[in-house]
A and B are shown apart, each in its own frame.
Chain A
Amino acid sequence: MKAASRSKGIAFLLSAAILVCFIGANSRTAGAADPIVIGTTVSQSGAYADVGKYALQGYQLYVNQVNAHGGWLGRQLQLKVYDDASDPATSVTEYQKLVQQDHVNLIVGPYSSAITAAVANIADQYKMPMISPEVAAVAPFKRNLKYIFQGTATSDRYVYGAIQIAKQYGYKTIALTGEDTAFPRSIAAAVPGMAEAAGLKVVFNELYPHNASDYTAIVQKIKQSNPDVVLAISYFPDSVGIIRALKQANVTPKELFFTIGPAEPNFAKEVGADSQGVLFANNWSPELKTEGNAAFAKAFKAAFGVDPDYHAAQNYAAMQVLGAAIASAKSLDNDKIRDYMATHEVDTVCGTYHVDSTGMQTGYDSLTDQWQGGKQLVVYPSKWAQAKLITPYSWAK
């Protein structure tokens, strides 16, 4: 009977395959004693997959460079990376694996508040300090946990430059919008206060949901409010959606500012000529005159064929902080490393790292960049400015 033997055969093959996978995955031996193993998860699939790629490359570059120079404490570095699929529960399992199964020496933090919030418990449980290179929201660091540190500028600094620019050029009214999720909300919350202090007025304030199917309605409302400045606290796809909708609705603000989306190097390519003059917050820029930055940008391009973005830079910087801590502690003692990261300043490619007693970042600041001629150039603050600001904004012909 063909059918019976066929499904019999398949069932057998299936069980064999599954058994092999199961055994294979779970009989991993502990890492060899010699290299220093740093464990992390990166979002290689799921909602944050676009960022995960750069994040990983930032880590990899650092590890390769340090290894070429003899490693830390005379030992080579090794990265152990798992995909957290942008999911907190998966990340928890993988970090547990890194600590319990792979016996990593050190851990570094994942992307997103949600994942970090879940994984922070592990850092505390095993008393392993964890620097979180990407989480800018403030709430995760207000939970009285001793082992996590913020490796990026806090969210409220992101719009500071945009408002100062508006003030400088006499723009009076702001239309504020953004994605209604944790991080953009924390930025948006800071805007009215900052605007008032600078003498500007917020004439429109409404957020849209993640994965909104339509931006025309909210853009119509923005149009009705007739603003000088449009501040959109948005990620990549919604930045594109809003900019398209603004153009189609014939809305031409004098200043157009998006937070996170345009920081991606491919923004100009995906948006086209309308990217010219778009302002955005960036925690980092290739030409920033910070410690080892030029070398970093060059090495990154050489290694991966593309320019680094700020995610790559932040992850690289996180490793720099870890490296400094280890150099100071002269060992892998987690408590010594933890104390160092809690109390010291470290110069990195992103600026000067420094955290307060809750682990929140106070050293890094956020820059304001502008897309000019297909390049991302810092225009504010003047200390770091590389180019003159182009204003007012206008649409490409």
Chain B
Amino acid sequence: MHVELVTQLIINGLLLGGVFALAALGLNVIFGVTRIVNLAHGQIVILTALTCAVIFQRFGITPIEALPGALIGGAILGTLIDRFLLRRLPEHAQTRETTSLLITFGVSYFLIGLSLAIFSGDFRSVAYLTDSWHIGGIDFPKAQILSFAIAIVIAGILAIVLRSTKVGRALRAASQNLDGARACGIDIGRMRTLSFALGCAIAAASGALLSMIYAYNPDTGSQFTLISFSVVVLGGLGSYAGAIVGAGLLGLAVSFVGFYGNTHLGSMMPYVVFILVLLFRPSGILGKPATT
């Protein structure tokens, strides 16, 4: 039955990758255009997950049904963060990046406090789609399959938007060459807001889906941000396909190392891979260079 086991490990790994990819896509959108790591990213995921848990238990609304609401909520939050906070910064490049980083850090603290105030420290989860399809001796967990599918759909829509629409091309231009884009008459401010809105919307969507897989409380946000950034780096800055591939590889690594090694090593994989990639292949699998 070794083949069955390995197949199961592969499936588990890929599905875990789906979870990672979902979490990372939002960060990638923002980082690609604004070069800002949204440190509040993980907290937005958590906040949405907690909200979905409560409305599921109170009103029976499933996270799938709540998805559109999550997207809209995330978009609004992202827009607010950019327009009211980040816009106020001076244009000087060096300080802007670092200060923006810290502003999102402040926002994450604020969101932790907010989550604690609303939801208390209790762990919450959504008990929906908790079982698997069992086909040919392999288990396909429903919640993870769904997250994976939606991750692909979101990435696909993102890719189409970026490639074919005017707005999408403007976003890509802004992420590739800020000054050049500005010279072409692209409103950089609007692009920033758009990327933030998009990034936070996706983060919220991932929170909704992840609520079915794990249990969260306001304290668990920060690890998400780091893992998401690992995936972004692994896949390559600015490359969405890279992020998906990177997430998949990372998921497989965690799954196999966790099984043949132990769970400690498995859990270390995101960090280890992250550092290794940064040191030896900084452009990631498909992206642009990160070093001088």
Contact = CB atoms under 8 A, between A and B. Distances in A.
Interface of A: 43-53, 86, 180, 206-209, 211-218, 220-221, 224, 236-237, 240-241, 244, 247-250, 264, 266, 269-274, 395
Interface stretch (B124-132, B193-201, B237-245, B278-286): B124-132
Given A217-B257, A220-B5, A221-B259, 9 more contacts: A48-B121, A49-B121, A50-B217, A209-B263, A217-B9, A217-B255, A237-B217, A270-B215, A274-B127
Contact of A49 (B12, B215, B219): B219
B267 interface: yes
25 contacts: A43-B121, A44-B116, A45-B116, A46-B219, A49-B121, A49-B219, A50-B122, A50-B123, A180-B264, A206-B263, A208-B263, A209-B267, A213-B266, A214-B12, A216-B12, A216-B16, A217-B9, A217-B254, A220-B12, A237-B123, A241-B214, A248-B131, A270-B125, A271-B125, A272-B128
Contacts of B256: 217
A270 B5 contact: no
A208 B16 contact: no
Contacts of B177: none
B70 to A, nearest CB: 19
Contacts of A51: 121
Contacts of A244: 130, 213-214
A270 B119 CA distance: 14
Nearest to A235: B123
Contacts of A213: 16, 223, 227, 254, 266-267, 270
Question: 8 nearest interchain CB pairs?
Answer: A272-B127, A49-B121, A217-B258, A248-B141, A50-B121, A208-B263, A240-B215, A216-B12
B99 interface: no
Nearest to B132: A248
A214 B220 contact: no
Q: Is the interface of B mostly helix, strand, loop or mixed?
A: helix
B119 to A, nearest CB: 10
A273 B130 CA distance: 10
Contacts of A221: 259
A269 B222 CA distance: 25
Nearest to A397: B131
Given A244-B213, A250-B139, A220 B8 contact: yes
A240 B214 contact: yes
B53 to A, nearest CB: 7
A249 B217 CA distance: 25
Interface string B198-224: 000000000000000111111110010
Contact of A206 (B213, B254, B262): B262
Interface of B: 5, 8-9, 12, 16, 53, 57, 112-113, 116, 120-125, 127-128, 130-132, 134, 139, 141, 144, 213-220, 223, 227, 254-259, 262-264, 266-267, 270
A217 B256 CA distance: 7
Nearest to B53: A270
A48 B254 CA distance: 27
B123 A214 contact: no
Contacts of A218: 258-259, 262-263
A271 B126 CA distance: 7
Contacts of A271: 125, 127
Given A49-B218, A248-B132, A214 B254 contact: yes
B127 A250 contact: no
B130 A274 contact: yes
Nearest to A240: B215
A221 B12 CA distance: 13
Contacts of A52: 121
A274 B127 CA distance: 9
A204 to B, nearest CB: 12
B88 to A, nearest CB: 11
Nearest to B264: A209
Contact of B9 (A45, A49, A220): A220
Given A50-B120, A206-B262, A211 B223 contact: yes
B23 to A, nearest CB: 10
Contact of B139 (A47, A249, A272): A249
Nearest to A238: B215
A190 B273 CA distance: 35
Nearest to A237: B215
Given A50-B217, A217-B259, A221-B259, A270 B16 contact: no
A247 B131 contact: yes
Most buried by B among A216, A266, A272: A216
A31 B237 CA distance: 58
Contacts of A273: 127
B139 A217 contact: no
Contacts of B257: 217
Most A CB within 10 A of own CB, among B5, B120, B122, B255: B122
Contact of B132 (A247, A270, A272): A247
A181 to B, nearest CB: 12
A180 B267 CA distance: 12
B59 to A, nearest CB: 14
A250 B120 contact: no
A209 B254 CA distance: 13
A211 B226 CA distance: 13
Nearest to A50: B121
Q: Which of A51, A213, A218, A240 has the largest number of chain B CB atoms within 10 A?
A: A213
B264 A269 contact: no
Given A213-B270, A247-B131, A273-B127, A236 B121 contact: no
B130 A247 contact: yes
A58 B54 CA distance: 25
B264 A237 contact: no
Contacts of B141: 248
B264 A208 contact: yes
B223 to A, nearest CB: 6
Contacts of A212: 263, 266-267
Contacts of B218: 49
B263 A217 contact: yes
Contacts of A53: 120-122
Given A180-B264, A208-B267, A214 B258 contact: yes
